[in-house]
């Protein structure tokens, strides 16, 4: 056992310390010249050395024992969870590991927190950096809408409720409805309270309230019960808007009467629970019902067609007068157009990768970017990609840099279009008809750019698709500029010679 | 050398007498006993053999072990067939000791990544093991690359023949 030898070696200097001349001498003859005091020291040293070795060995023995015990890890039900167990801390008694990880979503994993001075209006000590300051063209495209006032980088679930409460977008002047709360607080409790146990009724009651009034009913940010069945721990959908939305999306694919809680596989649920919120949405009608624009399908063009059909507009641009749509973080829809979706890789596979706890695997409930560190890249990407963390980082960086380049081109075009429409409107250099055409082009281009810009994957969730829609947006924006000059442009016309994608041996 | 050790031992034992001697001997005996039991309890002796179950002694290798049981090479190769050198027995055991040392160190302190990764020299051992059995069959592929100082990697494409990760 090497421990003994090492310990003895560590003690060596002490052996020699009282008698430096003796250093390194080990001969028999030398021993006789040892002083009496150092002779007495030897048994003491041997005793210490042996005791340390015995301690180290016992420790090693117990760790081996513990690791063997881990293989037989068990689950202890401390409390019984029911449909009204709303408090995540109570769930934490049964699932301490998951709960501890879940609370860690408060941490700054992306390194974009900034310290600010708390005020009476906004008691937060940290914000994330502003996205409208770092991309001023985004601020310009939202002029006339709340997003031009305050829009910051996203952060962990633990912040969802406070950040929404204190953003200027939910301030008095914008008079937001209770609908906003659907995704920023734990809902089952609020729905039960407002609907008297009928969650669907509670959903509608909350949508009809003012934001401030609805907020009073919320007691927690996103919690366990939002995604898990309290009895079985199965993943479950709690948001009416998604149940309705995915039914429509499936119907568009030809699947009739899709009931997500009945029909979805567990693997699909590992995406769907996230898709309850990480999607594009709007508040339909006077009832302000949270609605996902999926009747025609899940692409950005499907959403745009839907909005045109129902005649939806979010706001009128302050400068150009165009009637515009606001897109919001369509993470799920974008992912669904990408290669990972095709391969059945879910949100949880990358954002909640398994972590080793003893001999058990635990889905990491500290939901975050997989790119945070070499450890997270290893746990997420390297499960399927037999590569290195460095290589993965380079690949993602390449995808996101190319997307950033395309986004930049699109923003430049859109910004130029806004300038041109505003100028043409002011000096009368374009006909009303051409102005209307140009404004429609702005609506189209801006929706797509906003869609990609507001999406949290920076192009990664579906690289080719993201670049392709931005390409279309740039064309639309430039077409709008040409329209102002009386030039008719045809968009979306296919190539003169149809591309033959695949060899066809007449099969 | 032997004389020196004997002389040292004599000098050493003469230092103690009576109860001290017995107490120290007893202590040393305790350490040796606990050490011996620890060795037995950790199942470390099994690592001298070739049984794949030994490699899954620690739950760190559970996945690889289970995947190997379902893998295409299950009936023709054990862990050592692909992960221990074939060139000579001495090197085989040096390599096993080297890996055993790092594995037990990292497992004891739970200091290893979620998806374990093979070290470069171990990857080379595995690549060589492919050729140990399949060398004749892939002669053309390997020859055409070796004279250009390249090495075609088998497991770059034939990944998961031993165990899907």
- DSSP per-residue codes, A183-228: GTS-HHHHHHHHHTT-HHHHHHHHHTSBHHHHHTT---SS-GGGTB
pLDDT of residue B122: 95
From chain B, the residues in CB contact with A386 under 8 A are: 159, 165
A57 and B41 in contact by Cβ < 8 A?
Answer: no
Q: Which two tokens stand for residue A413?
A: 């075009």
Q: Chain A interface residues facing chain B, Cβ-Cβ under 8 Å?
A: 1, 4, 26, 28, 31, 39, 42-43, 46-47, 50-51, 53-54, 57-58, 60-61, 63-65, 67, 70-71, 353-356, 358-359, 374-375, 378-379, 382-383, 386, 388
Residue B23 has pLDDT above 70, yes or no: yes
Residue A234 has pLDDT above 60, yes or no: yes
pLDDT band at B149 (very low <50, low <70, confident <90, very high): confident
The larger pLDDT score, comparing residue A397 to residue A55, is at A397
Q: Give me the phi and psi of A139, to 5 degrees please.
A: -60, -40
This prediction has a pTM of: 0.82
Interacting residues of B152 by C-beta distance below 8 A, sequence separation 6+: B141, B142, B145
**Range A321-331 burial, b when 16+ CB lie within 10 A, else e:** bbbbbbbbbbb
**Range A426-465 burial, b when 16+ CB lie within 10 A, else e:** eeeebeeebbebbbbbbbbbbbbbbbbbbbbbbbbbbbeb
Q: Read off the DSSP letter of residue A257.
A: S
- Residue pair A409/A137 in contact (Cβ under 8 Å)? The answer is no
Which of B35, B40, B127 should one mutate to test binding to chain A, selecting the residue with the greatest count of A CBs within 10 A? B35
Separation CA B3–CA A185 (nearest Å) = 80
Separation CA A51–CA A11 (nearest Å) = 12
Identify which of A144, A133, A238 has the alpha carbon closest to the alpha carbon of residue A187. Answer: A238
Separation CA A336–CA A271 (nearest Å) = 10
Q: Give me the phi and psi of A183, to 5 degrees please.
A: -110, 0
From chain B, the residues in CB contact with A44 under 8 A are: none
Identify which of A3, A138, A147, A130 has the alpha carbon closest to the alpha carbon of residue A61. Answer: A3
- Radius of gyration of the CA atoms of chain A, in A: 31
pLDDT of residue A55: 85
Asked if B115 is an interface residue toward chain A (Cβ–Cβ < 8 A), one would say yes
Separation CA B57–CA B69 (nearest Å) = 15
Asked if B53 is an interface residue toward chain A (Cβ–Cβ < 8 A), one would say no
With residues binned 3-state (H G I as helix, E B as strand, rest as coil), the percentages for chain A, rounded to 5, are 55, 5, 40
pLDDT digits (tens, 9 = 90+) for A139-191: 999 999 999 999 999 999 999 999 999 999 999 889 999 999 999 999 999 99
Separation CA B116–CA B165 (nearest Å) = 9
From chain B, the residues in CB contact with A71 under 8 A are: 59
A9: left (phi over 0), alpha (psi -120 to 50) or beta: alpha
A54 and B27 in contact by Cβ < 8 A?
Answer: yes
Residue A222 has pLDDT above 90, yes or no: yes
Asked if B57 is an interface residue toward chain A (Cβ–Cβ < 8 A), one would say no
B10 and A28 in contact by Cβ < 8 A?
Answer: yes
Asked if B66 is an interface residue toward chain A (Cβ–Cβ < 8 A), one would say no
A35: left (phi over 0), alpha (psi -120 to 50) or beta: beta
Q: Which two tokens stand for residue A328?
A: 């919001």
Q: State how far Cα B80 lies from the chain centre.
A: 9
From chain B, the residues in CB contact with A379 under 8 A are: 113-115
Separation CA A47–CA B119 (nearest Å) = 41
- Residue pair B126/B132 in contact (Cβ under 8 Å)? The answer is no
B59 and A51 in contact by Cβ < 8 A?
Answer: no
pLDDT digits (tens, 9 = 90+) for A15-54: 444 444 444 444 444 444 455 566 667 767 777 788 788 8
Listed range (A186-195, A234-243, A484-493) with the worst mean pLDDT? A484-493
- Residue pair A33/A21 in contact (Cβ under 8 Å)? The answer is no
Q: Taking the alpha carbons of B96, B100, B102, B103 in that order, is the dihedral positive or negative?
A: positive
pLDDT of residue A413: 98
Q: Which two tokens stand for residue A180?
A: 């906003």
Residue A207 has pLDDT above 90, yes or no: yes
In the block, tokens 């001997």 appear at B25
B27 and A31 in contact by Cβ < 8 A?
Answer: no
Residue B33 has pLDDT above 50, yes or no: yes
CA dihedral A347, A351, A357, A359 (to 10 degrees): 40
A50 and B165 in contact by Cβ < 8 A?
Answer: no
A156: left (phi over 0), alpha (psi -120 to 50) or beta: beta
- Residue pair B125/B95 in contact (Cβ under 8 Å)? The answer is yes
pLDDT digits (tens, 9 = 90+) for A45-65: 777 788 788 888 888 888 888
Separation CA A430–CA A421 (nearest Å) = 9
B59 and A355 in contact by Cβ < 8 A?
Answer: no
Separation CA A6–CA B150 (nearest Å) = 44
A63 and B59 in contact by Cβ < 8 A?
Answer: no
pLDDT of residue A74: 66
């Amino acid at each position: 056992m090497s421990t003994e030898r090492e310990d003895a070696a560590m003690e060596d200097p002490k052996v020699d310390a009282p008698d430096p001349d003796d250093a390194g001498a080990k001969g028999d003859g030398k021993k006789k010249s040892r002083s009496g005091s150092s002779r007495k020291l030897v048994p003491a040293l041997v005793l210490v050395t042996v005791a340390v070795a015995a301690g180290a060995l016992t420790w090693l023995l117990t760790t081996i024992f513990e690791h063997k015990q881990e293989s037989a890890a068990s689950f202890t039900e401390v409390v019984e969870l029911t449909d009204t167990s709303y408090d995540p801390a109570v769930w934490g008694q049964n699932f301490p590991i998951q709960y501890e990880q879940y609370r860690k979503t408060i941490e700054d994993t992306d390194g974009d927190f900034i310290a600010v001075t708390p005020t009476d209006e906004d008691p937060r000590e940290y914000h994330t950096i502003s996205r409208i300051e770092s991309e001023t063209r985004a601020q310009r495209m939202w002029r006339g809408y709340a997003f031009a006032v305050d829009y910051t980088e996203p952060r962990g679930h633990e912040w969802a409720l406070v950040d929404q409460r204190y953003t200027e977008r939910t301030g008095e002047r914008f008079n937001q409805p209770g609908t906003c709360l659907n995704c920023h607080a734990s809902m089952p409790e609020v729905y039960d309270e407002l609907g008297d146990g009928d969650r669907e009724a509670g959903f509608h009651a909350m949508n009809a309230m003012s934001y401030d009034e609805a907020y009073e009913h919320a007691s927690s940010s996103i919690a366990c019960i939002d995604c898990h069945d309290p009895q079985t721990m199965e993943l479950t959908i709690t948001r009416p808007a998604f149940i309705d939305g995915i039914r429509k999306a499936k119907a568009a694919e030809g699947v009739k009467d899709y009931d997500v809680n009945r029909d979805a596989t567990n693997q699909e649920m590992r995406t769907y629970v996230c898709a309850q919120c990480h999607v594009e949405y709007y508040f339909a009608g006077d009832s302000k019902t949270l609605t996902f624009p999926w009747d025609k399908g899940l692409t950005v063009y499907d959403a745009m067609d839907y909005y045109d059909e129902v005649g939806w507009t979010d706001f009128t641009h302050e400068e150009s007068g165009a009637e515009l749509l606001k897109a919001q973080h369509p993470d799920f829809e974008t992912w669904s157009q990408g290669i990972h979706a095709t391969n059945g890789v879910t949100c949880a596979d990358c954002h909640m990768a398994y972590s080793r706890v003893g001999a058990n695997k635990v889905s990491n409930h500290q939901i975050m970017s997989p790119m945070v560190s070499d450890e997270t890249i290893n746990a997420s990407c390297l499960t399927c990609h037999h590569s290195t963390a460095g290589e993965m980082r380079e690949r993602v960086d390449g995808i996101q840099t190319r997307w950033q380049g395309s986004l930049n081109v699109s923003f430049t075009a859109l910004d130029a279009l806004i300038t041109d429409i505003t100028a043409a409107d002011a000096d009368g250099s374009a006909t009303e008809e051409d102005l209307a055409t140009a404004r429609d082009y702005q609506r189209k281009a801006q929706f797509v750019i906003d869609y990609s810009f507001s999406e949290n994957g920076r192009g990664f969730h579906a690289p080719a698709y993201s670049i392709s829609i931005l390409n279309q947006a740039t064309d639309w924006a430039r077409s709008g500029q040409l329209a102002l000059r009386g030039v008719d442009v045809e968009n979306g016309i296919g190539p003169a010679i149809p591309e033959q994608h695949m060899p066809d041996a007449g099969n | 050398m032997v004389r020196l050790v004997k002389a040292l031992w004599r000098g050493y034992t003469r230092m103690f007498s009576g109860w001290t001697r017995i107490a120290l001997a007893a202590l040393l005996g305790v350490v040796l006993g606990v050490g011996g039991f620890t060795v037995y309890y950790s199942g470390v002796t099994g690592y001298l053999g070739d049984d794949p179950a030994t490699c899954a002694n620690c739950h760190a290798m559970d996945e690889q072990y289970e995947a190997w049981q379902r893998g295409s090479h299950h009936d023709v190769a054990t862990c050592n067939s692909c992960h221990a050198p074939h060139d000579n027995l001495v090197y085989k055991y040096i390599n096993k000791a080297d890996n055993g040392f790092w594995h037990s160190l990292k497992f004891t302190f739970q200091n290893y990544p979620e998806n374990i990764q093979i070290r470069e020299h171990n990857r080379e051992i595995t690549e060589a093991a492919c050729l140990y059995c399949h060398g004749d069959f892939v002669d053309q592929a390997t020859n055409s690359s070796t004279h250009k100082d390249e090495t075609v990697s088998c497991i770059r494409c034939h990944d998961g023949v031993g165990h899907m990760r």
